[in-house]
Amino acid sequence: MENATKALLISASILIVIVLIAIGIRILNSTSGVTDQVGSTSSALETSMFNSQFEQFFGSSVPGTQVRSMISKIIVNNSQTPEYKIMLVLRDSSGNELYSAHNGGNPSITRIQDIYNLISNSKFYAVYVTSGCTVYANGYNNGHIACITIKEKA
């Protein structure tokens, strides 16, 4: 009788351990979705912060001084964040391309500096994201701004 009691206690202990392991695995699986959501939210926030530093300069009548400030930020960005380089196109008031710095998706700092030098502080420009200089859809690379057009105002 004593052996039967011990066997039942051992069986009950094993069953409790199995149940605890199953509960632990279930909790672990349910929290993995939360960590995926946190990672996704963090990535979206990073993209939003990246874009906002350039979007503040977008508009239909942006002074040349602000356009030059934006280009300076782009030069810094392209030096420090090579995976998300921004390309530029400068157009005249008729929409004709005057100068570009996209070089097949790899903009050179020198060409961007050339556009900086072509911007007049006394003029106004339309500044917007465009797909006109990039292989990325709609001017974005994984949600990050990849191509900006600067168009002289008439």
Query: What's the average model confidence in pLDDT over 67-86?
Result: 92
Report whether pLDDT(21) > 90: no
What is the rounded end-to-end Cα distance, in angstroms, of the chain? 102
pTM assigned to the model: 0.70
How deeply is 68 buried, as exposed, middle or buried, from its count of CB atoms within 10 A (0-12, 13-18, 19+)? Answer: middle
Query: What's the average model confidence in pLDDT over 48-77?
Result: 95
As a whole number of angstroms, the longest Cα–Cα distance in the chain is 102
Give the pLDDT score at 135.
65
Report whether pLDDT(120) > 90: yes
Most confident of 13-22, 57-66, 141-150: 57-66
Q: Is the dihedral of CA 34, 40, 42, 45 positive or negative?
A: negative
Domain spans in the chain, listed from the N-terminal domain onward: 1-55, 57-152
Per-residue pLDDT band for 82 (boundaries 50, 70, 90) equals confident
Give the pLDDT score at 33.
59
Most confident of 44-48, 65-69, 75-79, 147-151: 65-69
State the Cα–Cα distance between residues 112 and 90, nearest whole angstrom. Answer: 10
Q: State percent of the chain over pLDDT 70.
A: 85
